[in-house]
Amino acid sequence: MLTRQAEKSHIVSSIELMTQNTEKTAVSASQTALSAEGALTSSMSEGYSSQFNSQRANKIAANAAVHNGVLAAAVDYEGVRQLRRTFSIELKQGSITNQKRSGRCWMFSGLNVCRYEMIKDLNLADLELSETYLFFWDKMEKANYYLESILDTLDEPLSSREWEYVNADLVDDGGWFWGFANLVNKYGLMPADAYPESANSDSSADMVQYVNALLREDAAQLRARHEQGASLAVLREVKSQMLAAIYRMLSISLGEPPATFDFVVRTKDDEDKDSQSAESSENSSAADSSAEKGEKSEKDGEKKGFITGKLIVDKNITPLEFFHKYCSVDLNDYVDVADAPHKEYGKLYELRRSSNMVAGHEIQFANMGMDVIKRALIAQLQAGHPAWFACDCEPFSLRRMGVFDRKSVNVEALFDVEYKLDKADRLRFGESLGNHAMTIQGVDLDENGNPTRWKIENSWGKMVGENGYFVMSDEWFSDFVYDVVLRREFLDADTLAVAHSKPVELEPWDPFCKATRCIA
Active site residues: 105, 436, 458
Position 156: which residue type? Answer: E
Q: Are 125 and 308 in contact (CB under 8 A)?
A: no
* Per-residue CA distances from 513 to 361, 439, 477 (Å): 15, 21, 20
Q: Does residue 107 sit in helix, strand or coil?
A: helix
Single-letter amino acid code for the residue at 289: S
User: Contact, 130 vs 195, CB < 8 A?
Assistant: yes
Residues 6+ apart with CB under 8 A from 228: none
* CB 468 within 8 Å of CB 322: no
Specify the DSSP element, H or E, that contains 406: none
User: Rounded to 5 degrees, what are φ and ψ at 257?
Assistant: -70, 140
Query: What's the helix, strand, coil split of the chain in %, to 5?
Result: 50, 15, 35
Alpha carbons 354 and 106: distance in angstroms, whole number = 14
**Long-range contacts formed by 319-326: CB under 8 A, 24+ apart:** 319/133, 319/187, 319/188, 319/189, 319/190, 319/261, 320/187, 320/188, 321/188, 322/188, 322/189, 322/190, 322/261, 322/263, 323/184, 323/188, 323/189, 324/188, 326/118, 326/121, 326/122, 326/263
Report d(CA 408, CA 410) in Å as an integer: 6
The 3-class secondary structure across 487-502, one letter per residue, is EHHHCCHHHHHHHCCC
Provide the CA 79 distance to its chain's centre, in angstroms: 26
Question: From CA 172, how far away is CA 102, in angstroms rounded?
Answer: 10
In whole angstroms, give the CA distance from residue 52 to residue 58.
6
Cβ burial of 373 (10 Å; 0-12, 13-18, 19+) is: buried
Cβ-based neighbours of 284, under 8 Å, separated by 6 or more: none
